[in-house]
């Protein structure tokens, strides 16, 4: 083994452990949630040990891997389009092999090979450690599939290769899978049962990131608040754990507290929180540590109790309001964002009005809004008719987006005149004379570069805003540097 410097990526060169012989080029890209982007870094690490060097150029690739998303039909269509592009490139580069990873791989399994001739390899989210064997199969001229979901796999022992990193912020996965079974959602089928990662391996990964000078990490899980380590095993089997295991178990509040206390200058974020799993303890831990960002992504999906029930979201509108009130009482400056689905089966105008009135109560800082997309195999698909016409879904969606735009602007306006700490992440997309970074509330702030550099914590006086961005001027370093 020898150390090779890979300079094909932007930012800092990466040092990869690689076999000298048999060097091949891997092009890997990801669609969908942050977990997919994080998983691709695990895959790159597994394949680096097999002699694969990552490339940014599709045309140069020996192996192309696409990490896919199934959450909505449109996400799947995007991937299908991408496969067409690979097909075109394969005409110039016939030795190129193509593999599909992630949720579409898990959902479609070997059907993928029949439907898309370009695909040589299908690998589900828990089977990435088998990639070296699967690639050997492909090299021998056979197609290869592994979509076995695991009860244990958390990739806790793999140190991810930070792909296209800005060297400032990184993701760390802490749970995998989801047990919630929201009736609209394909994730429990594609990512399996929920399991948590050993806190020791999480702390080690974070220590390593801090040593590399990373300034912000986001703890990731489909349902991050549900994190529970009791020595391994599925979350659903916790009841069967020994008294000792129960007494020494680490829940999300405890994990967050441990990480925040160990690295007081490291900014910490986490996502995604399902309201039914978010405890008061977590909110108190957030309030206790300055370095835990004051921002919670708290999907609601619908403001109607009846629809929440049909969705199998295990909380009511009233309970959600209580959670919001607790957050705002304990952390008044906390920003909150939402996910909302419009046009879930049977949704009436009255249900839709409930969603709008819930938004008026919370006045979210921002949100991610979608028209309902029926997913094969989900409970909603099996038990309910997708009965809301597309134009009604779209109209309700645009009403919700408009209300959110108004609220984002309202929230952002309140920052004008304040001086906020911003972590500089990158150059502004619109101007190479400006930096772009985020405040603790996760709001993007843009300001003139002056003498500052990427990775600095600076105090920015906010002078103006748009519905998406704060504009201002840096007045000095923050005391977090």
Interaction site with ligand SAH (CB under 6 A): 71-72, 184-185, 222-223, 272, 274, 299, 301, 339, 341, 370, 372-373, 375
Give me the least distance between CB of 209 and ligand SAH, in Å please: 24
- Quick check: 146 and 123 in contact, CB under 8 A? yes
The one of ligand F3S, ligand SAH, none whose footprint includes residue 370, by CB under 5 to 8 A per kind, is ligand SAH
- Quick check: 404 and 390 in contact, CB under 8 A? no
Closer residue to ligand F3S (CB): 317 or 438: 317
Give me the least distance between CB of 315 and ligand SAH, in Å please: 11
The one of ligand SAH, ligand F3S, none whose footprint includes residue 164, by CB under 5 to 8 A per kind, is none
The one of ligand SAH, ligand F3S, none whose footprint includes residue 71, by CB under 5 to 8 A per kind, is ligand SAH
Q: How many residues does the chain have?
A: 481
Give me the least distance between CB of 22 and ligand F3S, in Å please: 39
For residues 371-406, one letter each, b for 16 or more C-beta atoms within 10 angstroms of the residue's C-beta and e for the rest, the string is bbbebeebbbbeebeeebeeebbeebbebbeebbee
- Written as six digits, the tokens of 444 are 């993007």
Closer residue to ligand SAH (CB): 13 or 389: 389
Q: Hey, is 24 helix, strand or coil?
A: strand
The one of ligand F3S, ligand SAH, none whose footprint includes residue 324, by CB under 5 to 8 A per kind, is none
Closer residue to ligand SAH (CB): 305 or 339: 339
Runs of H (alpha helix) within 263-316: 280-288, 305-310
The one of ligand SAH, ligand F3S, none whose footprint includes residue 15, by CB under 5 to 8 A per kind, is none
- Quick check: 343 and 388 in contact, CB under 8 A? yes
The one of ligand SAH, ligand F3S, none whose footprint includes residue 173, by CB under 5 to 8 A per kind, is none
Give me the least distance between CB of 297 and ligand SAH, in Å please: 8
Closer residue to ligand F3S (CB): 154 or 223: 223
Cis peptide before 320 (omega within 30 of 0): no
The one of ligand F3S, ligand SAH, none whose footprint includes residue 372, by CB under 5 to 8 A per kind, is ligand SAH
Closer residue to ligand F3S (CB): 181 or 433: 181
Q: Hey, is 26 helix, strand or coil?
A: strand
- Written as six digits, the tokens of 398 are 């645009």
Closer residue to ligand SAH (CB): 184 or 364: 184
The one of ligand SAH, ligand F3S, none whose footprint includes residue 409, by CB under 5 to 8 A per kind, is none
For residues 48-82, one letter each, b for 16 or more C-beta atoms within 10 angstroms of the residue's C-beta and e for the rest, the string is bebbbbbbeebeebbbbbbbbbbbbeebbeebeeb
- Quick check: 478 and 459 in contact, CB under 8 A? yes
Give me the least distance between CB of 177 and ligand F3S, in Å please: 9
Give me the least distance between CB of 395 and ligand SAH, in Å please: 16
Nearest residue (beta carbon) to ligand SAH: 339
Give me the least distance between CB of 155 and ligand SAH, in Å please: 19
Closer residue to ligand F3S (CB): 183 or 443: 183
Closer residue to ligand F3S (CB): 165 or 196: 196
Q: Which residue reads 């008719």 in tokens?
A: 385
Closer residue to ligand F3S (CB): 222 or 428: 222
The residues of the shown chain that bind ligand F3S, judged by CB under 6 A, are 178, 180-182, 185, 187-188, 222-223, 274
Give me the least distance between CB of 401 and ligand SAH, in Å please: 13
Closest CA to 312 of 262, 383, 240: 383
Give me the least distance between CB of 208 and ligand SAH, in Å please: 27
CA distance 440 to 469: 14
Closer residue to ligand F3S (CB): 214 or 372: 372
Closer residue to ligand SAH (CB): 230 or 372: 372
The one of ligand SAH, ligand F3S, none whose footprint includes residue 253, by CB under 5 to 8 A per kind, is none
Would you give the distance in Å from CA 303 to the centre of its chain?
24
The one of ligand F3S, ligand SAH, none whose footprint includes residue 373, by CB under 5 to 8 A per kind, is ligand SAH
CA distance 321 to 312: 18
Closer residue to ligand F3S (CB): 144 or 380: 380
Long-range contacts formed by 356-362: CB under 8 A, 24+ apart: 356/303, 356/399, 356/400, 356/403, 357/303, 358/300, 358/303, 358/317, 358/320, 358/321, 359/303, 359/400, 359/403, 359/404, 359/407, 360/403, 361/321, 361/324, 362/300, 362/324, 362/336, 362/338
CA distance 42 to 327: 34
The one of ligand SAH, ligand F3S, none whose footprint includes residue 188, by CB under 5 to 8 A per kind, is ligand F3S
**Angle, helices 131-139/34-48, rounded to nearest 10 degrees:** 70
Give me the least distance between CB of 233 and ligand F3S, in Å please: 19
- Quick check: 180 and 192 in contact, CB under 8 A? no
Cα of first residue to Cα of last residue in the chain, in angstroms, is: 37
Give me the least distance between CB of 370 and ligand SAH, in Å please: 4
Give me the least distance between CB of 24 and ligand SAH, in Å please: 34
């Amino acid at each position: 083994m020898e150390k090779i410097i890979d300079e094909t990526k932007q930012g800092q060169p990466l040092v990869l452990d690689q076999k000298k012989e048999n060097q091949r080029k891997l092009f890997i890209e990801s669609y969908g949630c942050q977990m997919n982007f994080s998983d691709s870094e695990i895959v790159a690490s597994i394949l680096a040990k097999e002699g694969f060097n990552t490339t940014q150029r599709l045309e140069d690739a020996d192996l192309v891997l696409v990490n896919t998303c199934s959450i909505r039909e449109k996400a799947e269509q995007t991937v299908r389009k991408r496969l067409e592009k690979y097909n075109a490139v394969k005409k110039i580069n016939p030795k190129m092999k193509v593999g599909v990873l992630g949720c579409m791989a898990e959902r479609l399994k070997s059907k993928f090979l029949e439907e898309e001739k370009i695909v040589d390899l299908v690998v589900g989210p828990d089977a990435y450690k088998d990639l070296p064997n699967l690639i050997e199969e492909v090299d021998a001229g056979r197609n290869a599939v592994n979509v076995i979901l695991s009860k244990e796999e958390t990739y806790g022992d793999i140190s991810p290769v930070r792909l296209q990193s800005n060297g400032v912020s990184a993701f760390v996965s802490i749970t995998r899978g989801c047990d919630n079974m929201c009736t609209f959602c394909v994730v429990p089928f594609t990512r399996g049962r929920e399991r948590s990662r050993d806190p020791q391996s999480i702390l080690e990964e974070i220590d390593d990131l801090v040593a590399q000078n990373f300034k912000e990490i986001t703890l990731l899980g489909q349902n991050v608040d549900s994190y529970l380590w009791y020595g391994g095993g599925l979350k659903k089997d916790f009841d069967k754990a020994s008294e000792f295991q129960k007494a020494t178990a680490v829940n999300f509040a405890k994990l967050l507290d441990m990480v925040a206390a160990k690295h007081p200058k490291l900014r910490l974020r986490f996502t995604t929180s399902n309201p039914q799993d978010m405890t008061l303890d977590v909110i108190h831990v957030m309030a206790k540590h300055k370095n835990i960002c004051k921002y919670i992504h708290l999907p609601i999906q619908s403001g109607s109790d009846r629809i929440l029930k049909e969705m199998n979201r295990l909380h009511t509108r009233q309970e959600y309001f209580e959670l919001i009130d607790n957050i705002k009482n304990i952390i008044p400056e906390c920003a909150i964002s939402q996910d909302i689905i419009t046009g879930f089966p049977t949704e009436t105008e009255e249900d839709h009005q409930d969603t709008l009135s819930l938004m008026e109560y919370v006045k979210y800082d921002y949100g991610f809004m979608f028209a309902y997309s029926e997913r094969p195999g989900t409970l909603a698909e099996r038990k309910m008719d997708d009965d809301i016409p597309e134009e009604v879904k779209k109209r309700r969606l645009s009403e919700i987006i408009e209300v959110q735009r108004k609220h984002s602007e309202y929230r952002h306006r309140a920052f004008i005149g304040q001086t906020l700490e911003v972590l500089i992440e990158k150059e502004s997309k619109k101007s190479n004379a400006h930096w772009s970074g985020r405040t603790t509330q996760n709001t993007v702030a843009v300001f003139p570069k002056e003498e500052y550099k990427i990775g600095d914590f600076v105090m920015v006086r906010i002078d103006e805003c748009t519905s998406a961005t704060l504009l201002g001027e840096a007045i000095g370093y923050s005391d977090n540097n």
